Amino acid sequence: MSENQRPMVDPALLRGLTMPRMTRRAALRGAGLAGMAAALAACGVKGTSKAAPPADEVKAFWDKQTKANVLNFANWPAYIDTDPVNGKTTLQRFTDSTGIKVNYKEVIQDNDSFLGKITPSLRAGQDTGWDLMVITNGGSIEKLIRQNFLQELDTARMPNFNQYASAQFKNPSYDPGNKHSVAWQSGITAIGYNPKLTGREITSFDDLFDPKFKGRVGMFGDNVDLPNFTMVGLGIKPETSTEADWRRAADKLKQQRDSGILRKYIDNAGEIQGLESGDLWLSMAYSGDIFQINAELEKAGKAGAIKFVIPEQGGMLWTDNMCIPLKAKHPLDALTYMDFVYKPDIAAQLAAFIEYITPAQDGAKAAMQSQIPTAKGDEKSTLEAAVKDPLIFPTAQDLSNTHRYRVLTVDEEKVWNSIFEPIVQS
Amino acid sequence: MSAVSARRRFRLAPYLLALPGIVWLAVFFVVPIVMTLSVSLQTGDVERGFQFTWHFANYSDAMGRYHVQFVRSLFYGLTVTGATFVLGYPMAYWIAFHGGRRKSFYLFLLLLPFFVSFVIRTVAWQFILSDNGILLGPLKDLHLLPSNFHVLATSLAVIGGLTYNFLPFMVLPLFVSLERIDPELVEAANDLYASRVRAFLRVVFPLSIPGVFAGVLLTFVPAAADYVSASILGGTRTTMIGNVIQTLYLTNNDYPLASALSFILMAVLIVGVMVYARVLGTERVYEVAGG
């Protein structure tokens, strides 16, 4: 049939047939979609930040506080002395001298999940149930400070802190002027290794990239220690690093991962298990964890089988901080405790037991030295070892060879995560 | 009371009966899905809040960054499904046809590991497979394996762990469908000169298809979305999409990206299952479900 033979059709009818018309079904569908869009838009998630209180309010707050003689203290496992010295642990001494009873709970397994538990209360402006908690720098305490979730401190009320806190643990970059926190203990992130398995002493960051150790190297699978330590290894100062530096570190890590040198990105304290079982020959490690392995190995008669070294390029120095969550019920009791642990004999007793870097370096050392002559037996040898222990009293050289974490803004954190998350999540 | 209103009440009855189910679905399925979908299209950060902005780029970002883990999860899921099928079919067959009076005892043995937590069982595998552990240690001492051989931190360990954990999900539905087959059907096939193999292929296996269908679904979907095995037994290049989503939600608080990934995973699984159902026929599912 050719073109001109086509039957004539009324153009109006044609238009009517082909024009889109609103049927009931289509109308319902349209309404459904619109309703869906409204529902989607209504699901926005509110921000968590609170506004900072004015300065005079902080002083007024502390002026009206009274001691309640109760303290709810959230800390990490195995992070306080449990063997009495001269009949008392430091917690018992605290109760004796202040009358404050401490509910000490080891509830913090890692920063993220603990913060996850308390953030809803903080966001709602409610008591979290804790008066005092120990939170690490390098992201976690910064987040709390940034969102104004911590009670501002009045350090004028902390005489021991003012007198004995060592300069390097006071006024940290992540909390200028100790406005929200004071140090509990510090530690170093560097390299732990088994000299028998590696067959040589480990001295350099580059040893973590040696093909000879293929499949035997462990790195922390977090996005704080791993990126910062890698930058140190590459000779970059993490504190002042730029996005280009982050990408360089990421490239280095990608290479280590894809060449199979890296066995595994390990969890918090995962290097203990790996080094002990021999699955790992060398690994990024926390100074205190290596002490723990060695304490166990010593009992098994294999002292010094695992070593800890700050490589020539340097290590990371981190600090766990005591802080008071907003709306805590017993803030003055918490503040009293925060100051109490800076007393030299208390700091000494605590550090000798848990073997982390005490923030009251000179005071604790002097207290230990003065106790040595009168101490007996085990206590004497513990003290003698502790005074010389670089894990408690690192040398100035050790400390000068450590770096602090990069402090990130919210926007920088997004870039940082987008660079390092795909490395760890491989 | 008029007859009309009685009839109306009668007409409403099925809806009223369905109401609890509908409410359940609305509260625990529709609402979370809509929220996830909404969050996946938002921008912002956890401290300043997330705003709904139709940000579809979350989806391309998510796939751009994590397509490797995504494909790997599907691959692991398929491998695990295949492995559990190969291991589970003979098991289910034997229990169904040769279990005799002890059938329920054998099923109980199969389920016994469930009395121990999923995580603990996986950690136990970590202990068993450790480089110098109770399995590999002696083999290495005897020089049957090179000293740097390891199973942990490889895909094999993750797939093995998943296979171990999901095996019962395959065996149980297979058992149910095999158990319902009348043994006389096999005898009839033999009477008609079918060999044992032929009788199996033409009679038993086709009758067990509903069980295969259910078993594959029950294994593939959770295995592809699992994150426990990979985090305990895996190493580098074994991360599954579940691990990524967990980290994005809990560590990074990147809710939009995590939601986008969850949504993609869900969509891919649903489409996959629908295609699969179309191929095998949906009525088979009802057969099994109706038991």
The confidence score (pLDDT) of residue A6 equals 52
User: What does DSSP assign to residue B271?
Assistant: H
The confidence score (pLDDT) of residue A268 equals 65
CA-CA-CA-CA torsion for A241, A244, A246, A251, nearest 10 degrees?
-150
Residue A370 has which token pair?
């003065």
The confidence score (pLDDT) of residue B279 equals 82
Cβ within 8 Å, pair B45-A262: no
Distance CA A82, CA A88 (A): 9
Q: What is the pLDDT of residues B124-136, one digit of tens each?
A: 998 899 888 888 8
The confidence score (pLDDT) of residue A276 equals 85
Distance CA B135, CA A170 (A): 51
Residues in chain B: 291
Task: Give percent of chain A with pLDDT exceeding 90.
Answer: 54
The confidence score (pLDDT) of residue A345 equals 94
Please compute the mean of the pLDDT values over residues A296-325 and round it to a whole number. Answer: 88
Q: Which long-range contacts (CB under 8 A, 24 or more apart) does A268-274 make?
A: A268/A109, A268/A110, A268/A220, A268/A222, A270/A218, A271/A192, A271/A218, A271/A220, A274/A218
Q: What is the pLDDT of residues A352-394, one digit of tens each?
A: 888 889 999 999 999 999 999 988 877 888 888 889 888 889 9
A253: Cβ contacts below 8 Å, ≥ 6 apart? A219, A226, A227, A230, A420, A423
Distance CA A202, CA A216 (A): 14
Homologous superfamily in CATH for domain A55-186+318-394: Periplasmic binding protein-like II (3.40.190.10)
Unique residue bearing structure tokens 């593939």: B220
The confidence score (pLDDT) of residue B222 equals 94
Cβ within 8 Å, pair A421-B37: no
Of A233, A263, A224, which is closest to residue A251 (Cα–Cα)?
A233
The dihedral sign for the CA sequence A345, A349, A350, A351: positive
Of B153, B234, B247, the CB nearest to A421: B247
The confidence score (pLDDT) of residue A369 equals 92
Q: Taking CB atoms and an 8 Å cut-off, how many pairs form between chains A and B?
A: 111
Residue A59 has which token pair?
């002083």
Domain boundaries, chain B: 1-28, 67-290
Q: What is the pLDDT of residues B1-40, one digit of tens each?
A: 455 666 676 788 888 899 999 999 999 999 999 999 999 9
Please compute the mean of the pLDDT values over residues A168-180 and round it to a whole number. Answer: 91
Unique residue bearing structure tokens 């043995």: B109
| Fold match flag (A55-186+318-394 vs A188-317+403-424) | yes
Of B124, B137, B132, which is closest to residue A275 (Cα–Cα)?
B132
Q: How far is CA A38 from CA A41, A244, B30, in A?
A: 5, 41, 15
CA-CA-CA-CA torsion for B72, B76, B77, B82, nearest 10 degrees?
140
- Three-state SS for B277? helix
B34 min Cα distance to partner chain A (Å)? 7
Distance CA A277, CA A285 (A): 15
Contacts with A49 from chain B: Cβ below 8 Å: 47-48
For the ranges A75-89, A310-324, B86-100, which has the lowest average pLDDT? A75-89
Q: How far is CA B63 from CA A280, A407, B239, in A?
A: 33, 29, 15
Contacts with A40 from chain B: Cβ below 8 Å: 34, 37-38, 41, 52
Residue A254 has which token pair?
């990608």
Distance CA A289, CA A308 (A): 10
Distance CA B102, CA A126 (A): 58
Cβ within 8 Å, pair B42-A279: no
Point out the residues of chain B with pLDDT beneath 50: 1, 288-291
A41 min Cα distance to partner chain B (Å)? 5
The dihedral sign for the CA sequence A130, A134, A140, A145: positive
- Three-state SS for B45? strand
CATH of domain B67-290: 1.10.3720.10
Residue A387 has which token pair?
């005074």
Q: What's the 3-state SS for chain A?
A: CCHHHCCCCCHHHHHHHHCCCCCHHHHHHHHHHHHHHHHHHHCCEECCCCCCCCHHHHHHHHHCCCCCCEEEEEECCCCCCCCCECCECHHHHHHHHHCCEEEEEECCCCHHHHHHHHHHHHHCCCCCCCCEEEEECCCHHHHHHHCCCECCCCHHHCHHHHHHCCHHHCCCCCCHHHCCEEEEEEEEEEEEECHHHHCCCCCCHHHHHCHHHCCCEEEECCCCHHHHHHHHHCCCCHHHCCHHHHHHHHHHHHHHHHCCCEEEEECCCHHHHHHHHCCCCEEEEEHHHHHHHHHHHHHCCCCCCCEEECCCCCEEEEEEEEECECCCCCHHHHHHHHHHCCCHHHHHHHHHHHCCECCCHHHHHHHHHHHHHHCCHHHHHHHHHHHHCCCCCCCHHHHHCEECCCCCCHHHHHHHHHHHHHHHCC
Distance CA B70, CA B58 (A): 15
The confidence score (pLDDT) of residue A2 equals 45
| pLDDT above 50: residue A112 | yes
Confidence of residue A216 (pLDDT cuts 50, 70, 90): very high
- Three-state SS for B234? coil
Contacts with A216 from chain B: Cβ below 8 Å: 148
Distance CA B237, CA B154 (A): 8
Question: CA-based Rg of chain B, rounded to a whole angstrom?
Answer: 24
Give buried/exposed letters for A288-319 (b at 16+ CB in 10 A, else e).
bbbbbbbeebeeeeeeebbbbbbbebbbbbbb
Distance CA A162, CA A166 (A): 9
What value does the mean pLDDT of chain B take? 89
| pLDDT above 80: residue A65 | yes
DSSP E strands: which ranges in chain B? 42-45, 49-52
Unique residue bearing structure tokens 């037996």: A377
Q: Is B156 on the interface with A (CB under 8 A)?
A: no
Looking at per-residue pLDDT, the higher value among A207 and B140 belongs to A207
Contacts with B68 from chain A: Cβ below 8 Å: 426
Domain boundaries, chain A: 55-186+318-394, 188-317+403-424
The confidence score (pLDDT) of residue A198 equals 93
- Domain A188-317+403-424 part of CATH 3.30.300.30: no
Residue B18 has which token pair?
């369905």
Which residue from A minimizes the CA distance to B244?
A425
Cβ within 8 Å, pair B243-A425: yes
A19: Cβ contacts below 8 Å, ≥ 6 apart? none
Distance CA A290, CA A302 (A): 14
Distance CA A143, CA A50 (A): 12
Contacts with B41 from chain A: Cβ below 8 Å: 40
The confidence score (pLDDT) of residue A159 equals 96
A48 min Cα distance to partner chain B (Å)? 5
Question: CA-based Rg of chain A, rounded to a whole angstrom?
Answer: 29
Interface of B with A in 126-155 (CB under 8 A): 130-133, 148, 150, 152-153
The confidence score (pLDDT) of residue B291 equals 43
Confidence of residue A33 (pLDDT cuts 50, 70, 90): confident
Contacts with A146 from chain B: Cβ below 8 Å: 47
Distance CA A132, CA A325 (A): 7
Please compute the mean of the pLDDT values over residues A1-18 and round it to a whole number. Answer: 54
